[in-house]
Structure 1
Amino acid sequence: MATCEPDSKAAATTSPIKISPKTYSLPLLENPHQGLAPPTQDGETVCIRGYFSYFHYGCDGHQDVGWGCGYRTLQSAISWIIGRRGSSADGSQEAQWFVPSIREIQAILVAIGDKDQQFEGSCDWIGTLEEFYVMDVLYQLPCRILHVRQLGSPEVVDQIRSYFNEFQGFIAMGGVNGDSASKAIVGWHRSEAGKVFLLVVDPHFAEPPACQQKLIDRGYVRWVPIEDFLDSSYNLCLILQP
């Protein structure tokens, strides 16, 4: 496992792209994990604090099935950041912040020089490093990137546990094949017997979600035993938002 605090690609302190307010034909579900009980009745559970909206394939009318999961995980992460900052201790409301569309995300990456002009409007996917660049441009927010070869190694499990204990935040995860494609980790659980689970929110849902229970029943929001993750390389983006 390698850990790094990535250098910013953003030369400016504000986004080079204006993020417009959004309306959605179908409302987005918030905190889709809240209807899900811990995987065992004993042990320790630490989950995300605050709220986030569940972005998934096609949720805003943009058809991105097969390539847009990284964008959707990023949009969910940004909704959480906005929620945390909007409920800051001084009571200020950051109403000027909106979740960027896929096209706006692409435009940001082009504007900062990470992608060439042909990327905007394309069906090219993004990974956790690009997700960090966009969050840094919009919010100047530090993140920790973990390059992981064995997600279930004791060192990685301890880092994830420490992160949730300190930040109760949002982890964007991406891998190198379809089974390890982009997802969010929003909770950690260890049973008294020492079995570890991660709470996964999967953006690969491609229908209008009627309710949280539908997502849970179909496995798009679920507790995953740590040993069920593939022996594959993963990049984890731990968002250091207090």
Structure 2
Amino acid sequence: MIAAGDVLIVLFKHYGLGLFFKDISISPLQHIVRFNKGLKLESLYDCGDKDATFVGSQQWIGSIELGYCLENMAGIQSRVLTTNSGTEVIGNIRQLVLHFETCGTPIMIGGGMLAHTILGIDFNELTGESSFLVLDPHYSGDEDLHTIITRGWCGWKMPSFWKQEYFYNLLLPIPPKNVI
């Protein structure tokens, strides 16, 4: 199994700022990325991705917007993979494994109006079988790992988890060399 570094899952309320900002709190990037509510949304306005009405709103953002924020706010570059279906997510498995081996950061993935974070991949080179350790950032309850795991908020998902009818954007943050 290849995991996203030594991931400590610490969930917190996201205050309507977009699910992917919760994802970054579990990442090794949390040590160099410091967010505050106004700066998050203003960053998307400042880079031209959103208009002024977005600042102060509670609209969701996706993996592409998170990439803009990481770049504009912390100078963290990311690689983006865009797929046309869940099958194409699986087709990129070797690239995702390589990302975990070389970068170690969680992969934010959005598609079908949902957001998830891939924390690790179990991939068998011989058989091609795979599964994904997925965190669902929609969870908003207590920080109880037993509940989070037993109710499916974080767990291993089979390739069929990625739906064929949706396209997916995957954000693969590349940490600065002196961080991880």
TM-score w.r.t. structure 2 length? Answer: 0.83
Rate the CA distance shift 1:53–1:189 in 2: closer, same or farther, 3 A.
closer
Higher helix share: 2
How much has 1:82 moved relative to structure 2? 3.2
Partner Cα separation in structure 2 for residue 112 and residue 53 of structure 1: 30
The aligned amino acid for 1:130 is E
Instruction: Please state if 1:149 is matched with 2:105.
Output: no
Please list the CA deviations of residues 41-67 of structure 1 after superposition, one character each: whole Å capped at 9, or x if unmatched.
Answer: xxxx000114455345xx16x2x3xx8
Answer with 1 or 2: which has the greater Rg: 1
Q: What residue in structure 2 maps to residue 6 of structure 1?
A: none
- What is the CA-CA distance between 1:145 and the residue it aligns to? 0.4
User: In structure 2, how many angstroms separate the alpha carbons of the residues matched to 1:167 and 1:71?
Assistant: 19
Which residue in the other structure is 2:150 paired with? 217
1:54 equivalenced with 2:2 (yes/no): no
Q: Kindly provide the CA deviation profile for residues 207-233 of structure 1, in whole angstroms up to 9, marking residues without a partner as x.
A: 222x21211011111111112210110
- CA distance in 2 between partners of 1:117 and 1:124 (Å): 13
1:123-154 superposed Cα distances (whole Å, 9 cap, x missing partner) = 21111111011100122122110001234446
Q: Could you list the per-position Cα deviations for residues 60-83 of structure 1 after superposition, in whole angstroms to 9, with x for gaps in the alignment?
A: 6x2x3xx8323433x436x53133
SS at match of 1:163: helix
Q: Which of 166, 178, 181 is matched with 2:102 structurally?
A: 166
CA distance in 2, matches of 1:124, 1:72: 15
Could you tell me whether the CA contact under 8 Å between 2:5 and 2:28 is conserved in 1?
Answer: no
Task: Please name the residue that 2:19 is paired with.
Answer: 69
User: After the TM superposition, which residues 13-52 of structure 1 pair with which residues of structure 2 at under 5 Å, given as runs?
Assistant: 45-51=1-7
Structure 2 Cα separation of the partners of residues 205 and 226 of structure 1: 22
1:146/1:80 CA distance change after superposition, 3 Å: same
1:113 to 48, 68, 90: 48
Runs of at least 5 residues in structure 1 that lack an aligned partner in the other structure:
1-44, 86-96
Output the TM-score relative to the length of structure 1. 0.63
SS at match of 1:207: coil
Letter of the 1:219 counterpart: G
Cα RMSD over matched residues? 2.3
| 1:48–1:164 contact (8 Å) kept in structure 2 | yes
| Aligned-pair CA distance for 1:195 | 1.7
Where does the alignment leave 5 or more consecutive residues of structure 2 unmatched? Answer: none
**Distance in 1 between the 2:155 and 2:7 partners?**
17
Q: Which has the higher strand share?
A: 2
* Kept in 2: contact 1:53–1:80 (CA 8 A): no
Q: Give % identity.
A: 23
Partner SS, residue 41 of structure 2: helix
Alignment of 1:157-236 (within 5 A): 157-177=93-113, 181-191=114-124, 193-209=127-143, 211-231=144-164, 232-236=166-170
